[in-house]
Chain A
């Protein structure tokens, strides 16, 4: 068990190293180099030299590479080019907003998807199943930012019950925070929930067909125990995988939806820094998103062992 965890952690760190290295060389592969793109053609040689020094680009590449790694480990990401803040401050201000949306989205998505998937599998070919399946198809087909626009239109413009612009930090109270974040959360959560629901349904249908379900029926196990203990617990294993993998969908969704709702999160930061060629910020945002995905995936992998005892002492990936 401990060896398994160590192996997974090492793997996650390896992937992070690969991502950081790619970002490092990617930045240097920009045609004309980051300095020219950042300052434009008309910049004086002195200004260029100053920026090169600030970015450490006058050093040989292996020194730069070592510096980059040290900076990453010590979380010292330098200065933003266009504003006077440090990169850490800019990202630190934006990240909680995006992650708030993502967390609400996961809660909304899962709390809709799991019951809907169970209902639709246990009542196969009944109206509930059709409604849930069509709903999931619709959810799969709508990009989060479109759901966001629809929600903003319905709840913000037509009924005017919820704010559709800006973000209220949680320090100003839970309810205002939730009000500012619930619509974006739902917008991101619905497409996510659709994917999870489809997985829940097909996985549960498969389990319900297993021989041990017949055995449980023959033994006279109570229907509720049969459903929850025998069926759902086993059906959840692939669902957890999908729910974990699709966190990428949630993050990407949050990044686009926050723009619909005028929330200055990571997406806004990413787009602005790209358009301003503020590459120190761009690279950290990309790294942060990658890191969140890699480490949540790690967490999902480890959560497996809690759900599925068969994996617990396996040590090897299935």
Chain B
């Protein structure tokens, strides 16, 4: 460590006063050893110390919980109807459960043009958003990682084919690709949306993993693995993949908001899920016609999209920093 050979370590007038390795009190520095931290600890610390990332992480957890327990959290069913176009914070007064008595029902975010409680619709919509995001992630992650590893490991024809495909897919923004795939598969619905968006993000993963594998391929432990006679498949899965996992995690976290936005965009165009499924994009789009009478119908789902996407972006950025700093530390010392 460089701190042990600081200024005044044995030269000058007071030469001989200090033994080897000793130095005057004022030059002495605390020993600079890093306590070993596991990857998990470093990540947790990185996120907790980064306010934006912490905010993101909290919102992401809340979002996932909301989606998972939607029927228990939502104050009303997604199809229950109350007073039409109630403003946020207004009450509906009337007999809604058919027991002959009038009830007062509070709507924190108002009701839409059909009298649905917007907060409840948003909570159920969170399910679809999360489901679509995770399912698309599963598609693009598996296929993209597979392509990326093969291309990076074998190079040559596989690699140039992949790069041509990546170029080609670039000409199709996810929305346009989605429209095309929905045209071919001939119908609206969650499955088609998932397939469309999932395919659209394959190239991102493929390119990222390919780059990682290209650098990992030159590492000595790969040579070692080859020397002890490991097969190609085993090297790829057991040696390379675990070492490329950090960028995959970061990319996955940053892809979820993109998938949420893409689903919202397709639904907004009316080409996504079936019109009866409450998704945020669809709710936003349905409120468009009433923007001058009831702004909250489309603004509330828009804000929901914004907050969740923002949270995922901040969390993903924080994760990336947490991973990067751990690598940067090596350079600095």
Contact = CB atoms under 8 A, between A and B. Distances in A.
A218 to B, nearest CB: 24
B173 A252 contact: yes
Contacts of B314: 137
B168 A282 contact: no
Interface residues of A, number: 48
B202 to A, nearest CB: 15
Nearest to A23: B180
A14 B332 CA distance: 46
A259 B257 contact: no
Interface string A140-177: 11110110011011000100000000000000000000
A30 B186 contact: yes
B291 interface: yes
Q: Is the interface of B mostly helix, strand, loop or mixed?
A: helix
A289 B281 CA distance: 23
B18 interface: no
B171 to A, nearest CB: 4
B106 interface: no
A94 B171 CA distance: 20
Interface stretch (B81-89, B107-115, B221-229, B295-303): B295-303
Contact of B179 (A22, A37, A259, A286): A286
A193 interface: no
A271 B171 contact: no
Nearest to A262: B288
B299 A293 contact: no
B164 to A, nearest CB: 8
Nearest to B310: A141
Interface residues of B, number: 44
A19 B177 CA distance: 11
Contacts of A141: 257, 305-307, 309-310, 313
B261 interface: yes
A29 B281 CA distance: 29
B171 A143 contact: no
B282 to A, nearest CB: 12
Nearest to A25: B184
Given A30-B183, A153-B299, A290 B269 contact: no
A279 B168 CA distance: 22
A149 B314 CA distance: 24
A157 B295 CA distance: 9
B211 interface: no
B265 A252 contact: yes
A260 B226 CA distance: 58
A149 B284 contact: yes
B137 interface: no
A93 interface: no
A153 B291 contact: yes
Contacts of B27: none
B313 A26 contact: no
A248 B173 contact: yes
Given A30-B184, A143-B305, A289 B176 contact: yes
Contact of A149 (B186, B299, B307): B299
Interface in A1-47: 11, 15-16, 18-19, 22-23, 26, 29-32, 37
B270 A275 contact: yes
Contacts of B269: 255-256, 259, 267, 270-271
A275 B269 CA distance: 11
Given A18-B168, A290-B176, A297-B170, A26 B295 contact: no
Interface string A216-257: 000000000000000000000000000001001101100110
Nearest to B314: A137
Those 5 A-B pairs whose CB atoms lie nearest each other, nearest first: A146-B302, A141-B310, A141-B309, A248-B173, A290-B171
Interface of B: 52, 164, 167-168, 170-176, 179-180, 182-186, 257, 261, 264-265, 268-271, 281, 284-285, 287-288, 291-292, 295, 298-299, 302, 305-307, 309-310, 313-314
22 contacts: A11-B167, A15-B167, A15-B171, A137-B310, A140-B309, A141-B305, A141-B310, A143-B268, A146-B302, A146-B305, A149-B287, A153-B291, A245-B170, A249-B173, A256-B268, A270-B269, A271-B271, A282-B183, A286-B179, A289-B173, A290-B176, A293-B171
